[in-house]
Amino acid sequence: MSTEQEATERYVDGLLGDDADLARVHAAIEAQGMPQISIAPGYGRLLTMLVRMSGARNVLEIGALGGYSGICLARGLQAGGKLTSLELKEEYAATARNNLEAAGLGDRVEYVIGDAKESLAALEQEGRKFDFFFIDADKDSYPAYLEWAIKLGNPGAVITGDNALLHGRTIDPDKNGPSVQAMREFNQTMVGDERLTGTLLPAYDGLAIAMIK
């Protein structure tokens, strides 16, 4: 990352100011030894805006971690809207739930614990459909998660995916590990698949955004 980009991101983060609910998430993550990999503040604010602008009532999150993105997503929900959050680790989901409850958003979220692919298949069996998706889990599975999002999405649903650049590895021709190859496939599908209209924002660690046609 260039010094100029880092300075730009610090400037944006400074404009956003302090947020007690999100600071509480970071503190909980640190206290419990969880990885500090929550979405960047600027993109967190963008998630809130996108959910609200899209009028989404049913939002699906793949990867809860400590609840940072969950708070951002839930803040944008319409009255009566619901966030369904898939999380592999029960202890992470418990932390996320506590943080959303502390933020006054506990009634807007349900957590589904277990392997995300199995949970997604179960949601399909239940006939569930969603208006907005946020993908921020194991990078090797991003292409599979995207296909599930397209399958479970209503027409016009918005799909977002964090870490599209993998800290520069996605654009480095010398990097070709499984996660890098998976993310390249994910990005290409997001911006080039005929079922979607999408783009990729290059700030922070990259955020891919698409809309189902």
Q: Which two tokens stand for residue 42?
A: 């600027």
Dihedral over Cα of 114, 56, 54, 68: its sign: negative
Task: Provide the residue range defining the domain that includes 165.
Answer: 3-212
Decide if 93 contacts 85 (C-beta within 8 A): yes
Q: Are 92 and 65 in contact (CB under 8 A)?
A: yes
Q: Torsions phi, psi of 55, nearest 5?
A: 70, 25
pLDDT in tens, the chain (213 residues): 568 888 999 999 999 999 999 999 999 999 999 999 999 999 999 999 999 999 999 999 999 999 999 999 999 998 899 999 999 999 999 999 999 999 999 999 999 999 999 999 999 999 999 999 999 999 999 999 999 999 999 999 999 999 999 999 999 999 999 999 999 999 999 999 999 999 999 999 999 999 999
Distance CA 57, CA 54 (A): 9
d(CA 109, CA 12) in angstroms, rounded, equals: 28
pTM of the model: 0.96
Tokens of 118: 């199995």
Comparing CA positions, the residue from 79, 57, 49 lying closest to residue 160 is 49
Distance CA 142, CA 133 (A): 12
Alpha-carbon distance of 104 to 180, in angstroms, equals 37
Question: CA separation (Å) from 51 to 73, 160, 206?
Answer: 7, 11, 18
What pLDDT is recorded for position 123?
98
- DSSP annotation string for 89-120: -HHHHHHHHHHHHHTT-GGGEEEEES-HHHHH
The values of phi and psi at residue 202, to 5°, are -90, 0
Helices (H) and strands (E) in the chain, counts: 8, 7
The CATH number of the domain holding residue 76 is 3.40.50.150
For the chain, the domain total comes to 1
